[in-house]
A and B are shown apart, each in its own frame.
Chain A
Amino acid sequence: MAFLVPCPDCGNREAAEFSYGGESNRRPAPGAAAAELARYLFFRRNVAGTQVEWWYHRDGCQRWFLARRDTRSNLIEETYWPEQRAAHRA
């Protein structure tokens, strides 16, 4: 596979063991305007650079976690659990 994903539980594993969950974005509040819902559903930043995204260790611990990955090189700089999110928000 193309690159390694450091699972916070299991350590470095091939990316093929994981499911990709897409870039992290904030769910709109109930009753949000239609435009805000459309943005949440369809629009993504899709940066050529570092982004925070969801990964699921499908063939391992079967847990969701967050990763900071450089989309140009596929190097994952760090991974952490959702509850550690506040500490990692830049």
Chain B
Amino acid sequence: MTVLNPLRYFQPWTMWHHQPLRSSYDAVIIGGGVHGLATAYELAKRGMRRVAVLERSYIGSGASGRNTTIIRANYRTPEGVAFYKESLRLYERLSQELDYNLLFSQQGHLTLAHTDRAVNVMVERAAVNRLLGVDSRVIDPREIHELCPELDLSAHPAYPIQAALYHPPGAVIRHDAVVWGYARAAARLGVEIHPATEVTGILADRGRVTGVRTTAGDVSAPVVVAAVAGWSSEVGRMAGVELPILTHVLQAFVTEPLKPFLHVILVSATLHIYVSQTDRGEVLIGAEIEPYTTYSQHSTIGFLEQSAHHTLELLPILAPVKVLRAWAGLCDITPDYSPIMGKTEVDGFFVDCGWGTYGFKAAPVSGVCMAELITTGKTPSLIEPFKLSRFWERRLVSELAAAAVSH
């Protein structure tokens, strides 16, 4: 008689194979997050065969696994709207593209306005969005109530809700699945993924990148891409490239799982929080960055107290609900709250950074644009405004009104 071994079902399996690090590649990507993996996948799709993704920890261990999974395109600047609109379009069909269920849920995104000034900014954002073909409009409390009856729309809270910017295509997605989906799809096209391989130096010769130094030995490559989010300043320094980036920590927490009740993503810049309900039923609450720069990913009790208090201003029904867990992730904040993408003063060394609190929602389009830039040598028009040299030329793309806390 055969005895069924239950452990058989828990045997390790992988969606991609691990292989030893080679001594040379056509392109090395530093950072096994969703940006690095998307770039690797798009490079392989364009015919580049010897691509390696080097990750210090495990893939998706940084911001890709710590964000609050919100995808939207209702930005304020024309440059930002065009860019995130394309990212949203790619996300809409990413499950098919990667042949992997990403639990994409286009439930709509509500940015709440608690002040006259916030209403004015939203009217402006809605106008910019509509001119560029993004579905976005300002709605009154009556319509807000229809979308989310649990919201406290009374005059009771300290900052009563006056209106909201409604963005119907706003979505959430399973962030880990996006990482795994890209990793599997890239590996199928021959990309090598090397976790637990830390880059400790960038090798260059007369202003041209020649490879990287890693904990597993030196690797030569004519193309090196840094997609390391909060660690961008340190990696940039390895290549001698200065970046206008500050690393801040952003915290989030989830409650215990509840029956699905929240069918829309809520954001409040005044209360510094954004709220959505995950597929597991947990209510996911994120905050704004802490005011000081840091590389420490510790949660703080002050954040929990304040965010929980603010959440109850919006959703008083959550009062008896317990917090399940909290975490923190590093954000690479730029002076104008727009990303930095493209070439640097070192030939062959590319950066995909400055993603602040909005990197996850830009991953697919970033992969496409970075791969196009690397394979053709020409900067795609979508990312032209985000080049590093804009800070020397003082042509900033201020996205503060739509990026800070408005996830």
A: residues with CB less than 8 A from B are 1-2, 14-16, 19-20, 22-23, 34-35, 38-39, 41-48, 71-74
Q: Are B291 and A20 in contact (CB under 8 A)?
A: yes
Is B234 on the interface with A (CB-CB < 8 A)? Answer: yes
Q: How far is the CB of A15 from chain B (nearest CB, A)?
A: 7
Q: Are B392 and A38 in contact (CB under 8 A)?
A: yes
Q: Are A2 and B391 in contact (CB under 8 A)?
A: no
Contact with A along B247-270 (1 / 0, CB 8 A): 100000000000000000000000
Q: How far is the CB of B310 from chain A (nearest CB, A)?
A: 16
State in angstroms the CA–CA spacing of A17 and B242 once bound together.
32
State in angstroms the CA–CA spacing of A42 and B395 once bound together.
12
Q: Are A47 and B234 in contact (CB under 8 A)?
A: yes
Q: How far is the CB of A43 from chain B (nearest CB, A)?
A: 5
State in angstroms the CA–CA spacing of A22 and B248 once bound together.
11
**A19-B291 contact given A46-B247, A48-B231, CB 8 Å threshold:** yes
User: Which residue of chain B is the closest to A41 with respect to CB atoms?
Assistant: B335
Q: Are B245 and A74 in contact (CB under 8 A)?
A: no
Chain A residues, CB < 8 A from B57? none
Q: Are B294 and A71 in contact (CB under 8 A)?
A: yes
Q: Are A46 and B300 in contact (CB under 8 A)?
A: no
Q: How far is the CB of A6 from chain B (nearest CB, A)?
A: 15
Chain B's interface size range is: 20 to 34
Q: How far is the CB of B307 from chain A (nearest CB, A)?
A: 14
Number of A-B contacts (CB under 8 A): 64
Chain A residues, CB < 8 A from B293? 20, 22-23, 46, 71
Q: Are A42 and B292 in contact (CB under 8 A)?
A: no
Contact with A along B225-247 (1 / 0, CB 8 A): 00000010110000000111111
Contact with A along B294-305 (1 / 0, CB 8 A): 111010111000
**A38-B391 contact given A44-B246, A47-B234, CB 8 Å threshold:** yes
Q: How far is the CB of B232 from chain A (nearest CB, A)?
A: 8
Q: Are B296 and A72 in contact (CB under 8 A)?
A: yes
Q: Are B391 and A71 in contact (CB under 8 A)?
A: no
| A-B pairs with beta carbons under 8 Å apart, 14 shown | A2-B302, A16-B302, A38-B392, A41-B335, A42-B335, A46-B234, A46-B243, A46-B245, A47-B233, A48-B247, A71-B295, A72-B295, A73-B296, A74-B296
Q: How far is the CB of A48 from chain B (nearest CB, A)?
A: 4
Q: How far is the CB of A70 from chain B (nearest CB, A)?
A: 9
Q: Which of A2, A15, A39: most chain B Cβ within 10 A?
A: A2
Contact of B244 among A20, A34, A44, A74 (CB under 8 A): A44
Question: Apart from A1-B300, A46-B245, A71-B293, what 11 extra A-B contacts exist at CB < 8 Å?
Answer: A14-B302, A22-B246, A41-B335, A43-B391, A44-B233, A44-B246, A46-B293, A48-B234, A48-B247, A71-B295, A71-B296
Q: Are A2 and B290 in contact (CB under 8 A)?
A: yes
Chain B residues, CB < 8 A from A48? 231, 233-234, 247, 295
Q: Are B294 and A46 in contact (CB under 8 A)?
A: no
State in angstroms the CA–CA spacing of A15 and B292 once bound together.
9
Q: Are A46 and B296 in contact (CB under 8 A)?
A: no
State in angstroms the CA–CA spacing of A14 and B243 once bound together.
31
Is B394 on the interface with A (CB-CB < 8 A)? Answer: yes
Interface residues of B in 170-184 (CB under 8 A from A): none
Chain B residues, CB < 8 A from A19? 291
Chain B residues, CB < 8 A from A42? 244, 335, 391
Q: Are A74 and B294 in contact (CB under 8 A)?
A: yes
User: Which residue of chain A is the closest to B233 with respect to CB atoms?
Assistant: A46
Q: Are B302 and A46 in contact (CB under 8 A)?
A: no
User: Which residue of chain A is the closest to B392 with respect to CB atoms?
Assistant: A38
Chain B residues, CB < 8 A from A46? 233-234, 243, 245-247, 293
